[in-house]
Structure 1
Amino acid sequence: MIITFIISSHYVTFSYPNHKPLFVGCDFGIDLNSRVAIVGPNGPQQGDVRKNYRLRIGRFDQHSGEHLTAEESPAEYLMRLFDLPYEKARKQLGTFGLSSHAHTIKMKDLSGGQKARVALR
């Protein structure tokens, strides 16, 4: 089996600025089937990080859900925003881990985590 990495790190030291290192001499790879989140101002201070040309980096902050409309359901929101049929909007919501029962609930009644999944769209 061949594993294609989108990021590979070799002998990397991770630390926060002006703090003691969290990891020293770390080797790891992230493959095409992985979904990862890097939280906070971390970053390699030393070492080699290589990125695959297919790598896509997205950003999500804690206020990403503020643009959602309170009276729409997640399915209605995606249908309006992307001109999707109902079934495709629900399938898209499912790919982001939003439970099917939440697809038709008004945004104002969703939890913060559920709203975050809709905002990821």
Structure 2
Amino acid sequence: MIQIGGRSYELIQNYKNAWDAEAFKQRYSEVLDRYDYILGDWGYEKLRLKGFLRDNHPKANRDTAFSGITDYINEYCNFGCAYFVLQKTKDARDNKEHKEHKEPREQKGSTKASASPSPENASEQL
């Protein structure tokens, strides 16, 4: 399990022993937070990172869907290069934070609805 940027990842593929935790931490950017998978490939002793979405994600297309990762490796990576693939994992903490952020919004919305005059509230007051 890899933890970075408040997210947890699992190493699901490590071709030619490409995984290097220190190099990954140095290259990681918050832009990658939105992706479900991260591909890291080595070329000329430099690590490149690319994000991919799960296949059923609404914004996934041929170039960003996980099912296209093999095509990406064959077309854009150096032939036979070492690479790794990380998959974002869901943990209880992420789900708890998501619910905590969601609940106050719902409470505010319901408070505004009851405080604002509506035809139903007006008839009850009469």
Q: How high is the TM-score relative to the length of structure 2?
A: 0.19
Q: Answer 1 or 2: higher relative contact order, Cα 8 Å, separation at least 6.
A: 2
Q: How high is the TM-score relative to the length of structure 1?
A: 0.20
Larger Rg: 2
